Amino acid sequence: MAAQETKHWLVRPRTIRLLWIGFSVVLAALVLADTFVHGHPSFGLEGTFGFYAWYGLATCVAMVIVAKLLGMWLKRPDTHYDDDID
């Protein structure tokens, strides 16, 4: 009789779906709260609707692109350490 393998709760499909739904609801609530809270922007663009949401997304995308470019620049060939083996 094989033991039933249980997955960690964070890798179960139902949990992942619930986390996506929960985080989406929180994000939507925070963006909607921007309509009711009067901010004191330091510069003009900061006063736009949902600034922190789209600025955070744009920054995250930029970091991923820079990391990919840095990885291509720093990449070594698969045989880089083969010369050291005697």
Query: Does the pLDDT at position 2 exceed 60?
Result: no
pLDDT digits (tens, 9 = 90+) for 9-68: 889 999 999 999 999 999 999 999 988 988 889 988 998 888 988 999 999 999 999 999
Report pLDDT for 61: 97
Q: What pLDDT shows up at residue 4?
A: 64
Task: Supply the pTM of this predicted model.
Answer: 0.64
Distance CA 56, CA 52 (A): 6
Three-state DSSP state, 5: coil
Residue 50 backbone class (left: φ over 0; alpha: ψ -120 to 50; beta: rest): left
Contacts of 55 (CB under 8 A, 6+ apart): none
**Hey, how many other C-beta atoms are within 10 angstroms of the C-beta on 34?**
15
